[in-house]
């Protein structure tokens, strides 16, 4: 070979070898380091080569006071047996990290506003919203205010020690697959991260601010109609605090007709509208997200309890059914902690937060639903310098902002992606909304001892003591807390901080920030909270409905748009229908496919179709749609073929009815009503809201609108899915539940899960064309016997590893509405050897030994 | 050549097992230095065999590699086989390139053969 040829060959080989190694180890541009990723020994394949827990394992944690034994049962639930509570929290941090390390980091970063540092610029708008809401500042201040000698502080540090001990034990090959895909390294978990995560839960459970909705409605239909639309109490009352009656109460429906636009509102709205692309901000909370998606995402948690006298077992029964975004891995991780004489608690924890959020002790069990109270207000601020304000006007003087933070957003490699200056008044964060400066006050930012509440309340001796302990410490986000105990008590209380507005004010107007007179003037005392204990009816239930009947005199708590009535009607109907309720009835209720919503609404559509046909309407679509809807038994079973038509028809009827709320030049309405409002309107056939303003030559009746919606829905679905005679519109196929991976990776998600349930049932977990994937995140039925009998399930599995069979091993059971038996051993020996899947022994380590 | 390839496979298995992403190029460097000729070809053939062997061993132990590869590929809109093919192709390029470059360098550094002058 000539030297020249040798030289060329050598150079080509060098370029090939060095280039491919560079690409393999470092990546190029958007291409990750594929060699590291696909390496046979330490790449992504480890996700399927090390899928189960080692049968016997040992590890050490610095600071552990004594040995801790952890036995995983066959459901992969770790039972932690420790000699001190702090050791139990260290072990808890370790075992949660062992299965969910990536989730801990992702969730805490979401609350901290540093997602870009893990996943890159695509998370910039989410981080901006988090920081502009003042969430990281609130978490840091809360953590800084903690007494370092307090139990809470020590528990947080212990939990962090456990997480970090596991993190430190990991080699590069052992890292969760998401880190490999992102070419990232797990970061240290710090105690303050728990506060970030708690804030994130507050954000998840918050509603869009109604101030903007009210303003939009006023700008389109005038003040009277806007008030009627958004200010009203729910037209059907089945409150959490039960009233002495055997059926729901219907309130008189008074709705002003759509009027002329309110010119002041038009001007204010214009001044608050951002120029250019719509991005999320405190007031424009939803950013560019569609109204339909937000409606589909509506909260749908349920809980209920039955007194011993109404229970087939003679013991109190409790059902928990919190609904959240369905993710893989699940938002929840199931655990059981035993510290003899100190602590005994089981249930579900949120990875990244010490403690059990929903669960049971040997004496009582508890669960939550979201209260939906209005705990967020806005003020228009007058500032000294519109371009770069340093002061704001307050009671006639210019006062400096309480705080000015410069927030820098960085990529994983430290590149600055953006910078924000966030100012804070005494009320809260200030944001630029269009040409205005608005400050915001939100109870979640002023929460104090919520983590303490969970650590303390699980030590209570009874259901009542649990609720009292929670009421002492827990402020936000407000929750309808239900509890039942082995003494036979059932109790519920909507616990949280509810502000009292000045001048009996309500929370719909953007207030004048120039005076303290517009500030909140206090909070509700606990005695005012919606609550009940051992009611005569023998049961209690909450399902995000209005917590208290307006007949009970209380200050403003919230508006109907933030509540939902259907599931409350449904639970109460199911519970009233049975003289005695068994634990298995409670289980079956979770996925009961019947629906008060369909029972109340469908007849209007059928009557409208009949009336239009009688009036000479010869539309074939209407006739076929009416026939199909008439055949439907109004149950959201997987196999039914009528629910899809009804849902589409109802959605279209709302769009046709509320056409007055579509701004000029837009195709989607800018605000909406509650469905309870729509129900009340259906009974008022002459209301002016039925008229379609887009047809100026005639005034439509209710029946015309409903028939038009029904026929239109039929035509739409026939185009989308084919004629129902040849391709039945099967609910489970067209509206499956969607359980998505945390990073929305389709290969690691399950989005075709046929289930019983739909909107208005207790299991509205069905996905939609809008991409919503909220649903039942943890189902639990507890019989308060001694010992407790607990059955539960959540969608997913204990492992966060998509390659593990433990990643989705509970999914089928969840989809079928079944529950698994929860083990509650009080010592390692109480867990039968055949039920032990793995054992982990934790021992104290000296600093530096790990 | 067969012997060279067998040796190359062995070197690659050890290097890739313990060297991670650096295993294949290290094997290539070693083979380029050790083999008298044809190192590039031997390494190019041996590296994917070794990578495939390591993956195959995992599969024999029950790891559902192909099913997982399909899910992994599904995340990025790639065909199901893409991750497996990439997993064996990359080491070939790394090892073959490194071995070829060292082999060529050896050739260049070798003093030119001096011809014996013909008797006059």
Percent of chain A with pLDDT over 90: 81
Of A502, A363, A334, A160, the closest CA to residue A786 belongs to A363
A77-98 b/e with 16+ CB inside 10 Å = b?
Answer: bbbbbbbbbbbbbbbbbbbbbb
The distance of A184 to chain B (nearest Cα, Å) reads: 16
ipTM: 0.90
Residue A411, pLDDT above cutoff 50: yes
Confidence of residue A846 (pLDDT cuts 50, 70, 90): confident
Mean pLDDT of A393-410: 97
Of A39, A173, A748, which is closest to B75 when you measure between CB atoms?
A748
Mean pLDDT of A24-53: 87
Q: What is the pLDDT of residues A135-177, one digit of tens each?
A: 999 999 999 999 999 999 999 999 999 999 999 999 988 999 9
The distance of B68 to chain A (nearest Cα, Å) reads: 7
Q: What is the pLDDT of residues A652-687, one digit of tens each?
A: 999 999 999 999 988 889 999 989 899 999 999 989
For residue A405, the surrounding DSSP H or E stretch is strand A403-410
Are the C-beta atoms of residues A444 and A375 closer than 8 Å to each other?
yes
Q: Where are the domains of chain A?
A: 596-634+641-729
Average of per-residue pLDDT values in chain A? 93
Are the C-beta atoms of residues A62 and A86 closer than 8 Å to each other?
no
Inter-chain CB proximity A41 and B20 less than 8 Å: yes
Q: What is the pLDDT of residues A741-759, one digit of tens each?
A: 999 999 999 988 999 999 8
Pick among B72, B74, B93 to test the A interface (most A CBs inside 10 A): B72
Q: What is the pLDDT of residues A348-365, one digit of tens each?
A: 999 999 999 999 999 999
CA dihedral angle for residue A808, residue A813, residue A819, residue A822, rounded to 10 degrees: -30
* B108 touches A at CB < 8 Å: yes
Q: Phi then psi for A782, rounded to 5 degrees? A: -120, 130
Mean pLDDT of A471-499: 97
* Cα–Cα distance, A178 to B78 (Å, whole number): 18
Residue A492, Cα to own-chain centre: how many angstroms?
Answer: 21
Beta-sheet strand order (sheet of A78-81): A56-62, A836-845, A68-73, A78-81, A333-339, A343-349, A358-360, A364-370, A479-485, A490-495, A531-533
The distance of B65 to chain A (nearest Cα, Å) reads: 7
Q: Which pLDDT value is given to residue A773?
A: 83
Six token digits for residue A794? 């959540």
- Reduce the DSSP state of residue A72 to 3 states and report it: strand
Inter-chain CB proximity A20 and B90 less than 8 Å: yes
Contacting B residues, span 45-104, partner chain A, CB-CB under 8 Å: 51, 54-55, 58, 61, 63-65, 68, 70-75, 83, 86-87, 90-91, 93-101, 103-104
Chain A positions touching B87 (Cβ under 8 A) are: 38-40, 43, 45
Chain B positions touching A25 (Cβ under 8 A) are: 21-22
Please name the residues in contact with A609: beta carbons below 8 A apart, sequence gap of 6 or more. Answer: A622, A623, A625, A626, A629, A706, A707, A710
* Cα–Cα distance, A377 to A361 (Å, whole number): 38
In this predicted structure, which of A176-180, A214-218, A285-289, A499-503 has the lowest mean pLDDT?
A285-289
Q: What is the pLDDT of residues A589-615, one digit of tens each?
A: 999 999 999 999 999 999 999 999 999
Inter-chain CB proximity A41 and B54 less than 8 Å: yes
- Reduce the DSSP state of residue A631 to 3 states and report it: helix
Inter-chain CB proximity B73 and A747 less than 8 Å: yes
Mean pLDDT of A358-383: 96
Q: What is the pLDDT of residues A472-481, one digit of tens each?
A: 999 999 999 9
* Cα–Cα distance, A35 to B87 (Å, whole number): 7
* Cα–Cα distance, A642 to A631 (Å, whole number): 8
Inter-chain CB proximity A10 and B99 less than 8 Å: no
Percent of chain A with pLDDT over 70: 98
Are the C-beta atoms of residues A507 and A376 closer than 8 Å to each other?
yes
Q: Phi then psi for A511, rounded to 5 degrees? A: -95, 165
Mean pLDDT of A710-727: 96
Q: Which pLDDT value is given to residue A49?
A: 87
For residue A155, the surrounding DSSP H or E stretch is helix A151-169
* Cα–Cα distance, A123 to A121 (Å, whole number): 5
Bigger pLDDT: A489 or A278? Answer: A489
The distance of A752 to chain B (nearest Cα, Å) reads: 15
The distance of B95 to chain A (nearest Cα, Å) reads: 7
* Cα–Cα distance, A494 to A552 (Å, whole number): 15
Chain A positions touching B24 (Cβ under 8 A) are: 21, 35
Of A54, A44, A57, the closest CA to residue A173 belongs to A44
The distance of B22 to chain A (nearest Cα, Å) reads: 7
Of A743, A372, A401, the closest CA to residue A568 belongs to A372
Of A33, A38, A746, which is closest to B75 when you measure between CB atoms?
A746
Inter-chain CB proximity A17 and B99 less than 8 Å: yes
Q: Where are the domains of chain B?
A: 2-107
Confidence of residue A628 (pLDDT cuts 50, 70, 90): very high
Pick among A8, A13, A16 to test the B interface (most B CBs inside 10 A): A13
Chain B positions touching A35 (Cβ under 8 A) are: 21, 24, 90-91, 94
Q: Compute the radius of gyration of chain B from its Cα atoms.
A: 19
Of B78, B15, B82, the closest CA to residue B51 belongs to B15
Are the C-beta atoms of residues B16 and B23 closer than 8 Å to each other?
yes
Of A9, A15, A34, which is closest to B90 when you measure between CB atoms?
A34
Residue A342, pLDDT above cutoff 50: yes
Chain A positions touching B90 (Cβ under 8 A) are: 20, 23-24, 34-35, 38
Chain A residues with a Cβ under 8 Å from any Cβ in chain B: 1, 3, 6-7, 9-21, 23-25, 33-36, 38-45, 47-49, 51, 172-173, 181, 745-748, 802-803
Inter-chain CB proximity B65 and A42 less than 8 Å: no
- Closest chain A residue to B103, measured at CA: A10
Residue A769, pLDDT above cutoff 70: no
* Cα–Cα distance, A31 to B101 (Å, whole number): 25
Q: Which pLDDT value is given to residue A849?
A: 44
Residues of chain B with pLDDT under 50: none
Of A1, A18, A43, which is closest to B97 when you measure between CB atoms?
A18
* B30 touches A at CB < 8 Å: no
Q: What is the pLDDT of residues A515-560, one digit of tens each?
A: 999 999 999 999 999 999 999 999 999 999 999 999 999 999 998 8
* B12 touches A at CB < 8 Å: no
Confidence of residue A847 (pLDDT cuts 50, 70, 90): low
Pick among A2, A28, A41 to test the B interface (most B CBs inside 10 A): A41
Q: In Å, how far are A218, A273, A286, A333, A392 from A270, measured between CA atoms?
A: 13, 5, 18, 46, 22
* Cα–Cα distance, B11 to A391 (Å, whole number): 71
Inter-chain CB proximity B107 and A6 less than 8 Å: yes
Q: Which pLDDT value is given to residue A850?
A: 41
Report how far apart the first and last C-alpha atoms of chain B are (Å, whole number). Answer: 42
Q: Which pLDDT value is given to residue A292?
A: 73
Chain B positions touching A31 (Cβ under 8 A) are: none
Chain A positions touching B91 (Cβ under 8 A) are: 35
Q: Compute the radius of gyration of chain A from its Cα atoms.
A: 28
Pick among A10, A51, A750 to test the B interface (most B CBs inside 10 A): A10
User: What are the percentages of helix, strand and coil residues in chain A, rounded to 5?
Assistant: 40, 20, 40
Of B63, B72, B94, which is closest to A747 when you measure between CB atoms?
B72
Of A33, A43, A802, which is closest to B71 when you measure between CB atoms?
A802
Residue A296, Cα to own-chain centre: how many angstroms?
Answer: 12
Are the C-beta atoms of residues A323 and A301 closer than 8 Å to each other?
yes
Residue A770, pLDDT above cutoff 60: no
Of A3, A20, A802, which is closest to B93 when you measure between CB atoms?
A20
Mean pLDDT of A14-26: 90
What is the number of other CB atoms lying within 10 angstroms of the CB of residue B105?
17
Are the C-beta atoms of residues A425 and A382 closer than 8 Å to each other?
no
* Cα–Cα distance, A112 to A101 (Å, whole number): 17
Of A35, A47, A748, which is closest to B90 when you measure between CB atoms?
A35
Q: Which pLDDT value is given to residue A27?
A: 84
CA dihedral angle for residue A396, residue A397, residue A401, residue A402, rounded to 10 degrees: -90
* Cα–Cα distance, A505 to A511 (Å, whole number): 10
Q: How many CB pairs under 8 A join A and B?
A: 139
Chain A positions touching B108 (Cβ under 8 A) are: 3, 6-7, 10
Mean pLDDT of A191-217: 93
Q: What is the pLDDT of residues A415-426, one digit of tens each?
A: 999 999 999 999
């Amino acid at each position: 070979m000539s030297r020249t040829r040798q030289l060329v060959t050598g150079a080509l080989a060098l370029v090939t070898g060095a280039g491919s190694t560079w690409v393999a180890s470092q990546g190029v541009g958007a291409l990750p380091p594929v060699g590291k990723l696909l390496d046979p020994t330490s790449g992504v394949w480890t996700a399927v080569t090390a899928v189960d827990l080692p049968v016997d394992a040992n590890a050490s944690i610095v600071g552990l006071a004594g040995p801790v034994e952890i036995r995983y049962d066959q459901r992969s639930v770790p039972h932690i047996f420790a000699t001190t509570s702090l050791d139990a929290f260290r072990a808890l941090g370790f075992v949660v990290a062992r299965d969910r390390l990536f989730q801990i980091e992702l969730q805490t970063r979401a609350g901290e506003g540093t997602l870009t540092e893990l996943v890159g610029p695509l998370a910039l708008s989410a981080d901006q919203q988090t920081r502009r809401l003042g969430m990281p500042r609130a978490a840091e201040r809360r953590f800084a205010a903690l007494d370092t000698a307090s139990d809470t502080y020590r528990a947080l540090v212990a939990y962090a020690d456990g997480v970090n001990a596991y993190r430190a034990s990991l080699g590069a090959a052992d890292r969760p697959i998401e880190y490999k895909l992102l070419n990232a390294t797990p970061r240290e978990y710090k105690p303050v991260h728990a506060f970030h995560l708690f804030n994130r839960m507050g954000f998840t459970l918050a509603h869009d601010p109604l101030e903007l909705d009210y303003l939009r409605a006023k700008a389109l239909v005038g003040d009277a109609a806007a008030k009627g639309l958004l200010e009203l109490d729910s037209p059907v009352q089945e409150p959490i605090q039960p009233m002495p009656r055997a059926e729901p109460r219907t309130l008189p429906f008074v709705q002003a007709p759509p009027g002329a636009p309110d010119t002041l509102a038009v001007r204010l709205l214009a001044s608050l509208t951002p120029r250019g692309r719509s991005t999320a901000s405190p007031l424009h909370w939803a950013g560019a997200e569609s109204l339909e998606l937000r409606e589909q995402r509506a909260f749908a948690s349920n809980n209920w309890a039955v007194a011993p006298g109404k229970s087939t077992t003679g013991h109190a029964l409790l059902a928990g059914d919190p609904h959240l975004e369905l993710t893989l891995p699940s938002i929840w991780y199931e655990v059981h902690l035993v510290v003899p004489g100190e602590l005994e608690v089981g249930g579900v924890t949120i990875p990244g937060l010490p403690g059990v959020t929903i669960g049971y002790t040997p004496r009582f069990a508890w669960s939550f639903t979201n209260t939906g109270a209005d705990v967020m207000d806005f003020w228009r601020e007058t500032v000294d310098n519109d371009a770069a304000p340093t002061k704001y006007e307050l009671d006639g003087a210019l006062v400096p902002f309480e705080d000015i933070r410069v927030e820098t957003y960085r990529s994983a490699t430290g590149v600055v992606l953006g910078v924000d200056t966030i100012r804070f008044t005494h009320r809260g964060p200030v944001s630029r909304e269009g040409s205005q400066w608005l400050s915001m006050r939100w109870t979640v930012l002023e929460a104090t001892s919520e983590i303490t509440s969970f650590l303390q309340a699980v030590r209570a001796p009874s259901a009542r003591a649990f609720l009292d302990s929670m009421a002492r410490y827990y402020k936000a986000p407000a929750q309808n807390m239900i509890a039942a105990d082995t003494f036979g008590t059932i109790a519920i209380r909507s616990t949280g901080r509810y502000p009292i507005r000045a001048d009996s004010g309500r929370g719909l107007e953007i207030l004048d920030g120039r005076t303290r007179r517009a500030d909140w003037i206090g909070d509700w005392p606990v005695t005012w909270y919606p609550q009940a204990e051992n009611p005569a009816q023998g049961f209690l239930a909450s399902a995000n409905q209005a917590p208290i009947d307006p007949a009970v005199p209380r200050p403003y708590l919230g508006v109907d748009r933030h509540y939902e009535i259907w599931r409350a009607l449904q639970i109460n109907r199911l519970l009233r229908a049975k003289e005695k309720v068994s634990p298995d009835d409670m289980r079956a209720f979770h996925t009961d496919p019947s629906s008060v919503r369909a029972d109340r609404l469908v007849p209007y559509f059928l009557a409208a179709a009949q009336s239009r046909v009688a009036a000479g309407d010869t539309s074939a679509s209407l006739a076929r749609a009416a026939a199909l809807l008439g055949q439907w038994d109004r149950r959201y079973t997987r196999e039914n073929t009528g629910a899809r038509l009804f849902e589409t028809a109802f959605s279209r009827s709302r769009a046709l009815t509320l056409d007055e709320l579509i701004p000029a030049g837009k195709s989607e309405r800018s605000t909406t009503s509650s469905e309870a409002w729509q129900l009340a309107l259906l009974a008022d056939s002459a209301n002016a809201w039925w008229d379609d303003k887009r047809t100026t030559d005639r005034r439509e009746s209710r029946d015309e609108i409903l028939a038009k919606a029904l026929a239109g829905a039929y035509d739409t679905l026939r185009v989308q899915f084919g004629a129902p005679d040849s391709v039945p519109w099967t609910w489970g196929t067209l509206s499956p539940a969607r359980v998505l991976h945390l990073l929305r990776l389709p290969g690691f998600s399950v989005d075709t899960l046929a289930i019983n349930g739909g909107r208005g049932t207790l299991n509205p977990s069905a996905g939609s064309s809008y991409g919503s994937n909220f649903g039942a995140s943890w189902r639990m039925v507890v019989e308060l016997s001694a010992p407790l009998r607990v059955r539960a399930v959540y969608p997913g599995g204990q492992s966060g590893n998509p390659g593990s069979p433990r990643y989705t091993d509970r999914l089928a059971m969840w989809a079928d509405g079944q529950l698994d038996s929860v083990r509650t051993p009080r010592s390692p020996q109480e867990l039968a050897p055949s039920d032990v899947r793995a054992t982990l022994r934790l021992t104290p380590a000296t600093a530096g030994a790990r | 050549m067969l012997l060279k390839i067998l040796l190359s496979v062995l070197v690659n298995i050890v290097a890739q097992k313990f060297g991670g992403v650096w295993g294949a190029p290290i094997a290539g460097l070693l083979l380029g230095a050790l083999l008298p000729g044809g190192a590039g070809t031997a390494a190019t053939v041996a590296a994917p065999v070794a990578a495939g062997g390591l993956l195959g061993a995992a599969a024999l132990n029950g790891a559902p590699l192909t099913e997982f590869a399909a899910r992994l590929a599904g995340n990025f809109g790639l065909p199901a086989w893409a991750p497996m093919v990439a997993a064996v192709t990359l080491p070939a390029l790394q090892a073959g390139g490194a071995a070829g470059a060292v082999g060529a360098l050896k050739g260049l550094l070798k003093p030119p053969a001096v011809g014996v002058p013909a008797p006059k």
